[in-house]
């Protein structure tokens, strides 16, 4: 009973610590771990031991621990701490692994195609992890700032609803005075816009250039419209804004989801390559 009480109170005590103090403690613990590893490595070197075997084993263990975060996200039913705690472990273990990598390799980019690919894989995975730290903190804030909050799997449905609404508004322009000017603008600019998907450039870097361009051109033709056609123009303007917010939300979510997939795939490739490398190293050690 006392063990259960202790295990239940430890997470609550950790949560009671402020986020800033947690980061300081985690950074200090990471630096101490790096210092301890470096001292152990130096002792092995001074005693003419196999320091590469020691540092390589530690690095491989770090890689397995880093991949464990992906498995933890799928085992939500098990009492294995929260996902946020595992993300912090993942972050500081990654920092520790980078320090071990620098000590382990004779040069950052190793000679030979096999070791060279392994070096590049580690660097690319580390760089994608650094990008992930920035993205996982900045993108959610940008998403919550957008008035439109659609589910990712419903975005295409919402996009189709805007397309149908714009087409219906276009049909109502025929008997309206001055509607031919607005109808020409719709067929020339708005119809391709509402029927198009999300361009790759917009996915990589969401922006409001197309929205501003369409709204500016729509504003220029408003002087030629009657009151009834002007009401339709305002409807089009609202649809453009909502569609742009939808695309902006889609682009940001796509970036975050794509990073997770790419980072996970590269991490798995890295650990497979590292295991093969460790197998070769042990084979050479026995000779």
DSSP string, 231-270: HHHHHHHHHHHHHHHHHHHHHHHHHHHHHHHHHHHHHHHH
Q: What is the pTM of this model?
A: 0.78
Residue 5: pLDDT band with limits 50, 70, 90 = very low
Q: What does the pLDDT average to over 8-34? A: 72
Model pLDDT, residue 8: 45
252/202 Cα distance (integer angstroms): 9
pLDDT: which is higher, 143 or 175 = 143
Residue 149: pLDDT band with limits 50, 70, 90 = confident
DSSP state at residue 79? -
- Helical residues (DSSP H) of the chain, grouped into ranges: 2-16, 19-46, 51-74, 83-104, 113-144, 155-171, 179-185, 191-195, 200-204, 209-221, 227-285
Residue 195: pLDDT band with limits 50, 70, 90 = very high
56/103 Cα distance (integer angstroms): 9
Model pLDDT, residue 21: 80
Contact partners, residue 158, CB within 8 Å, separation at least 6: 150, 246
Q: What does the pLDDT average to over 203-225? A: 89
pLDDT digits (tens, 9 = 90+) for 216-252: 999 998 888 888 888 989 999 999 999 999 999 999 9
Cα Rg, the chain, nearest whole Å: 28
Lowest-confidence region among 118-132, 153-167, 176-190, 258-272: 176-190
Domain ranges of the chain: 19-146+264-285, 152-255
* Proportion of the chain above pLDDT 90, given as a percent: 44
Q: Does 53 have pLDDT greater than 70?
A: yes
Model pLDDT, residue 284: 77
Model pLDDT, residue 13: 53
Residue 18: pLDDT band with limits 50, 70, 90 = low
Model pLDDT, residue 62: 93
287/275 Cα distance (integer angstroms): 19
210/203 Cα distance (integer angstroms): 14
Nearest to 268 by CA among 133, 121, 108: 121
Residue 266: pLDDT band with limits 50, 70, 90 = very high
Contact partners, residue 218, CB within 8 Å, separation at least 6: 185, 233, 236, 237, 240
27/20 Cα distance (integer angstroms): 11
Q: What does the pLDDT average to over 41-63? A: 90
- Does residue 173 sit in helix, strand or coil? coil
Lowest-confidence region among 67-76, 86-95, 106-115, 179-188: 67-76
72/95 Cα distance (integer angstroms): 20
Q: What does the pLDDT average to over 144-154? A: 86
Q: Does 134 have pLDDT greater than 50?
A: yes
């Amino acid at each position: 009973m006392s063990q259960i009480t202790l295990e239940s109170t430890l997470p609550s005590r950790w949560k009671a610590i402020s986020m800033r103090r947690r980061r300081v403690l985690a950074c200090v613990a990471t630096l101490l771990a790096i210092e301890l590893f470096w001292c152990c490595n130096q002792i092995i070197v001074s005693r003419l031991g196999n320091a590469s075997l020691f540092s390589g084993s530690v690095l491989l263990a770090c890689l397995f621990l880093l991949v464990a975060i992906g498995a933890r996200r799928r085992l939500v039913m098990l009492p294995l701490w929260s996902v946020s705690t595992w993300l912090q472990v993942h972050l500081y273990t990654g920092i520790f692994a980078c320090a071990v990598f620098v000590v382990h390799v004779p040069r950052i980019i190793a000679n030979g195609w096999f070791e060279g690919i392994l070096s590049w894989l580690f660097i690319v995975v580390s760089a994608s992890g650094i990008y992930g730290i920035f993205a996982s903190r900045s993108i959610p804030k940008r998403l919550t700032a957008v008035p439109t909050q659609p589910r990712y799997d419903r975005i295409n449905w919402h996009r189709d609803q805007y397309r149908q609404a714009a087409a219906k508004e276009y049909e109502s322009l025929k008997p309206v005075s001055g509607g031919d000017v607005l109808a020409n603008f719709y067929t020339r600019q708005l119809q391709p816009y509402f029927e198009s998907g999300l361009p790759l450039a917009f996915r990589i870097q969401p922006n409001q250039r197309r929205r501003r361009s369409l709204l500016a051109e729509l504003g220029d033709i408003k002087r030629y419209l009657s009151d009834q056609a002007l009401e339709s123009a305002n409807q089009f303007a609202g649809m453009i804004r909502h569609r742009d917010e939808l695309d902006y939300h889609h682009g940001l979510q796509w970036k975050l989801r794509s990073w997770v997939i790419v980072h996970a795939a590269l991490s798995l490739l890295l650990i497979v390559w590292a295991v093969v490398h460790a197998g070769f190293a042990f084979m050479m050690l026995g000779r």
